[in-house]
Amino acid sequence: MPTCESEVEVNIEKISKKCDAVLITHYHGDHVGEYMKVNKEVPIYIGKQAKDIFMVFQNKMKDTRVTEITQEYIDRLETFKTFKQGVPFEIGNMKITPIRTDHSAFDSYMYLIEAEGKRILHTGDFRLHGVISKGIPKALKRIGKVDILICEHTTLSRQDENFMTEFMLQEEAVKLIKNNKYVFIMCASTNIYRIASFYHANKKVGNKLFICDTYQKELLDYVSKSSTEYTDYYNFEDVKSFDGKYYKQMVAKGFCMLVRSNYFSRKFVYNPIKISI
């Protein structure tokens, strides 16, 4: 899929007619946004958790009725095929090995594609400063030599910027949560790694109420349930969805609240007392 920065016009409808399959590395809009243009006969592959998270997101977008998302988008997404981390699958004579990678989208993958004695590695978007980044150099070593490397980047041109690692950010979050009674965290609903950073920072400083809206809670409950076989780091069992019964406790003892730039958040931040609960 082309990135939004791409200067080359790619006609997905036209080129997908000749495809055996489409591999999606992760659910960010510049990678999955044009899936409705892919020919209906062509199977689309994505990680299992990525598909389910994207499904909750797309359903939410459909319900808000402010986007183009309709039931047709949901139906096509239902047809996406999934795979297991690290378990190869075949498309025609090609062997595809999905390798889980570190990125701000949860359940992102690199693809090692092998056919006719040639090996291609498509890295997708990835970083080396996140929660699961430690495994990336090892994974690349295991992959060994490839004939072609397809790599994407958004920060290679920003050489003079200093980036915080997810762990540095978590330390900063500990200080912020400790020194402020009411903490609003503005964060994309699907950036599970970032939410986990704040969630664990909050646990370190006494576990204030960690609040979000019902949509975000649905996403976090899914991630908790589907991640148990791999790790307990994404167990968000203490997250509460915002409702009246916590209001007094929130005001008295403080809280951390996940917010996004939407009507609910704006109303709460600017006028918390009058909000209807």
Q: Is 107 in the site for Zn ion (CB under 5 A)?
A: no
- Applying CB under 5 A, which part among 22-30, 81-89, 92-100, 162-170 lies near Zn ion? 22-30
Q: Which pair of structure tokens corresponds to residue 169? A: 């950010």
Q: Which pair of structure tokens corresponds to residue 167? A: 């762990």
Q: Is there a contact between 124 and 25 (Cβ–Cβ < 8 Å)? A: yes
Identity of the residue, 28 or 122, whose beta carbon is nearer to Zn ion in the bound complex: 28
Identity of the residue, 49 or 202, whose beta carbon is nearer to Zn ion in the bound complex: 49
Minimum distance from CB of 256 to Zn ion (Å)?
Answer: 25
Q: Per-residue x/- marks for Zn ion, 118-137, CB under 5 A?
A: -------x------------
82 Ramachandran zone, left/alpha/beta (phi>0; psi -120 to 50): beta
Residue 128 buriedness (CB in 10 A; 0-12 / 13-18 / 19+): exposed
Minimum distance from CB of 24 to Zn ion (Å)?
Answer: 11
- Applying CB under 5 A, which part among 20-28, 58-66, 155-163, 185-193 lies near Zn ion? 20-28
Task: Give the whole-angstrom CA distance, residue 185 versus residue 201.
Answer: 12
Minimum distance from CB of 28 to Zn ion (Å)?
Answer: 4
Task: Give the whole-angstrom CA distance, residue 21 versus residue 45.
Answer: 7
Identity of the residue, 125 or 213, whose beta carbon is nearer to Zn ion in the bound complex: 125
Tell me the site size for Zn ion, rule CB under 5 A: 2
Buried b (16+ CB within 10 A) or exposed e, 148-161: eeeeeeeeeeeeee
Q: Are strands 239-241 and 182-186 parallel, antiparallel or unpaired?
A: unpaired
Q: Is 102 in the site for Zn ion (CB under 5 A)?
A: no
Q: Is 28 in the site for Zn ion (CB under 5 A)?
A: yes
Residues from 233 through 272 that contact Zn ion (CB under 5 A): none
- Applying CB under 5 A, which part among 3-11, 13-21, 27-35, 252-260 lies near Zn ion? 27-35
Identity of the residue, 47 or 268, whose beta carbon is nearer to Zn ion in the bound complex: 47
Task: Give the whole-angstrom CA distance, residue 151 versus residue 122.
Answer: 6
